[in-house]
Structure 1
Amino acid sequence: MPVHFPLKLVGSRMLAPSVRHLEFTRDDGQPLDFIPGQFIQVHFAAPDGQPARRSYSLATMHDHALGPGEAVEIAVSYVPGGAATNLFTALDQGQQIEASGPYGRFCLSPKDENRRYLLIGTGTGVTPYRAMLPQIAQLLRERDLEVVLLFGARTGDELIYGDDFADFAAANPRFRFMPCFSRELPVTSGPDARRGYVQDALADLAPDPERDIAYLCGNPNMVDTNFELLKAAGLPIPHIRREKYVSNK
């Protein structure tokens, strides 16, 4: 049985009109260490009284074993009328939720010998990539490696954690941040910003089975579309790592 533990809300901010960044501490005095890319589950009672749970990737950027009291960060998409949305909307600072984890294998592997990572995400599907940034920084120091992040959003207002990725790209020349906007290109967008979908930009990157490993996280249709494109480019299936996000209602 997975271990359940209490999380206490210690801070929050809006990332986008319908996405909230939440910071918790584990309220039983224990640390919550995790591998970047993993997720936790939040447990609660649905309106009909039945047990419910929702999964959220951990957004915390860390390069060490987390100790007691260190932040546990997630990004939550608000869906009108959703049970999980109602839970988080009503949650005030200092209050608790019940969680379990961490879970998942959507992580960078120390056994990889590729020369480029293609990280592809939409919406809150970029959350695990934010957690991976310290690990990516270490890999860039240790290996002859390039990393490209393709981030799909409709508008600039929905580019969650965009400043974190842009700042990281500015400090790490072999990390390329390519935001893709399906509705409108922001006036202040950077040199690698694109108008269109992530699959359009993926074609421009010419995926190479000899050098690339790809990660796909976010909207299931986006994941499926890019999975097929990467397979057609010759990437073996073990080199296409997927995690689909659905609306946590």
Structure 2
Amino acid sequence: MAEQFPLRLVSSYMLADAVRHLVFERADGQAFAFAPGQFIQVHFHYADGKPTKRSYSVATVGAGDATPVSRIEIAVSYVEGGAATALLGGLQEGETITASGPYGRFCLFDNDANRRYLLVGTGTGITPYRAMLPQLRQVIAARGCEVNLIFGARNEQELLYDADFTAFEREVPGFRYYACLSRVPRAQPRAQDRQGHVQALIRELAPDPAGDIAYLCGNPNMVDEAFTLLKEAGLPVPHIRREKYISSK
């Protein structure tokens, strides 16, 4: 069993109407080392005392490698009647929870030699890509590859970390940020916005079996449909890396 450790809430803010960004530090004074793309598990109990846990990708923007960080940031979607929502939705600054990790291999690989990354996310599935930004800066500079970040949301208010991705696009040539809005367009549309779902934009970007590696994170239906689309375009299965986000009560 992985080591468990206490996390103390330092600060928080609402990213959207039903998504809260939380910033923790380890209450035991230890630093936290993770690879961008990994997640932690939050451990707690149901009202009947039965133990359970929920997984959350680390959103912390660190140094771009496994250098320990002092803060652990996550994004939490509120689920009506959800046990984790009751715990994390009402958590106050200074209060503690129990966590473990990091876990997962939804990370950039050191031996990747591709010409382009297609990073696709919906909802809080965009979170691991925020943590990857410093690493992506290094990869673009070192290998000259292109990165297309594709974010699917219903409206502008649900584009989590939009300012972070927009600023990064201005700073880093080779990084392009696309927003696919399925219901309501931005009040001030941008050139790389699209109306509709991420699958249509994936087709527009013409996946290249010889040069692309794709990451898919978020809604299970999106992940499955995009995986099929990319596989039909000829991408090798090892070059389509997936992580599904399933809402649990």
TM-score (norm 2): 0.98
**Runs of 5+ unmatched residues, structure 2:** none
2:62 & 2:23 partners in 1: Cα distance? 14
1:229 & 1:89 partners in 2: Cα distance? 36
1:78 & 1:248 partners in 2: Cα distance? 10
> Which whole-Å deviations, capped at 9, do the CAs of 1:15-72 have from their partners, x for residues lacking one?
01100000000110111110000000000011221001000000001115124xx110
Query: Is 1:106–1:243's contact at 8 Å kept on the other side of the alignment?
Result: yes
Matching residue's letter, 1:112: D
1:75 aligns with 2:57: no
Counterpart secondary structure, 1:164: helix
Shift of 1:190: 2.0
1:71 & 1:239 partners in 2: Cα distance? 31
Name the % identity: 59
Query: Is 1:2–1:101's contact at 8 Å kept on the other side of the alignment?
Result: yes
Map 1:1-249 → 2, pairs under 5 A? 1-63=1-63, 65-67=67-69, 70-249=70-249
1:76 & 1:94 partners in 2: Cα distance? 18
Cα RMSD between the aligned structures?
0.8
Matching residue's letter, 1:234: G
2:93 & 2:148 partners in 1: Cα distance? 36
2:246 & 2:75 partners in 1: Cα distance? 13
Shift of 1:90: 2.1
2:191 & 2:26 partners in 1: Cα distance? 40
2:139 & 2:68 partners in 1: Cα distance? 20
**Runs of 5+ unmatched residues, structure 1:** none
Q: Return structure 1 stretches of 4+ with deviation > 4 angstroms.
A: none
> Which whole-Å deviations, capped at 9, do the CAs of 1:227-249 have from their partners, x for residues lacking one?
00000000000000000001143
Query: Is 1:78–1:85's contact at 8 Å kept on the other side of the alignment?
Result: yes
1:146 & 1:89 partners in 2: Cα distance? 37
2:8 & 2:235 partners in 1: Cα distance? 43
1:244 & 1:21 partners in 2: Cα distance? 20
Query: Is 1:77–1:248's contact at 8 Å kept on the other side of the alignment?
Result: no
Matching residue's letter, 1:99: A
Matching residue's letter, 1:57: S
